[in-house]
Amino acid sequence: MYHVIDLPTKAKLLGKLVEKTNLELVSVLEKTNLSDDLVNLYRTFNKFQIRWVIEGDLETTGEVRITSAQDFVSQSGIQLDTPQISWFIDGKEISLKGVFIPLDYNDEQSCVGVFTEYWDSGKLFYYEFGSTFYSLNIGVRAYFQLLKYTYGTSYWPRILLTEKEAIFKNSLSDLILQITEINPIFKFDEFMKLYYSLVEVDLESNQDGNGR
C-alpha cells in the first residue's frame, strides 16, 4: 500500500534505512485500537528513513522518517490513562486524554503524527516543535498519496494549511519553489484539488464506518 518515493537523479541521497516489520509488534498495534491504515503502514515497513538534498543547494532538502513500531508501542498504550491535558489545535484549546505520537519526521524541526485519543480515526496532525498542532484532516493513506508529489520536501505539510492558517502564507511561494526544484511538474492548484478530494474521501469513509 505504501511505496518508497523514487528521488530524481539531481537529489543527493544522504541516508536510507529500512527495517523489516516485527510481526509481534504489529500484533500489539492491532490491539491498541489503531486505524487499519496505521497498522498496515507498519506491516509494510517497521522503520524507514530517507534524507536528501539538491546538490549545490543546501536550501532545498527533504526527509521522510517513519518511526519504528517498537517506538510507537512504547510511547502509546502505557500512557493512555494519563490525565487530560490541553493542546492548541488549529488555534483552539482542546483537552485530550493521551499523548501526541510522531509518525513521520518531515524535518529536524517538524513532524506529522497522531493523538492517542484520535487513533481510531487515523487522522494526522502537523506539528512544528515548540509551536502548535494543526489537523491535516487526512489519514495515512492520503498522506502518502500527497507525499509522492512533494518528495518529503522540508515543511511541505504547510501547503495544506496555508488557506486557513495565515502564519504559513508568507512561506508558500518559497515552499512551492523548493518543491518544483525537485519535482518540476508540481502544480499548486492541482495539488490542492487532490488534497481536498482526499479529505472528502476520508470524511465519507468515516461516516460509513465507526470513525470520528
Residue 158 has pLDDT above 60, yes or no: yes
80 assigned to some structural domain: yes
36-45, 56-65, 76-85, 143-152: which range is least confident on average?
Answer: 76-85
63 assigned to some structural domain: yes
Task: Provide the percentage of residues in the chain whose pLDDT is more than 70.
Answer: 84
Q: Which helix (H) or strand (E) holds 146?
A: helix 140-150
Residue 54 pairs with which residues in a beta bridge? 11, 57
Contacts of residue 146, Cβ cutoff 8 Å, sequence gap at least 6: 138, 160, 191, 194, 195, 198
4 assigned to some structural domain: no
- DSSP-assigned letter for residue 4: P
Residue range of the domain that includes 81: 11-208
111 assigned to some structural domain: yes
User: How distant is the alpha carbon of residue 70 from its chain centre?
Assistant: 18
Most confident of 8-12, 45-49, 93-97, 196-200: 196-200
134 assigned to some structural domain: yes
**pTM (2 decimals)?**
0.86
Q: Report d(CA 186, CA 102) in Å as an integer.
A: 27
If you average pLDDT over residues 52-63, what whole number do you get? 86
How many independent structural domains does the chain possess? Answer: 1
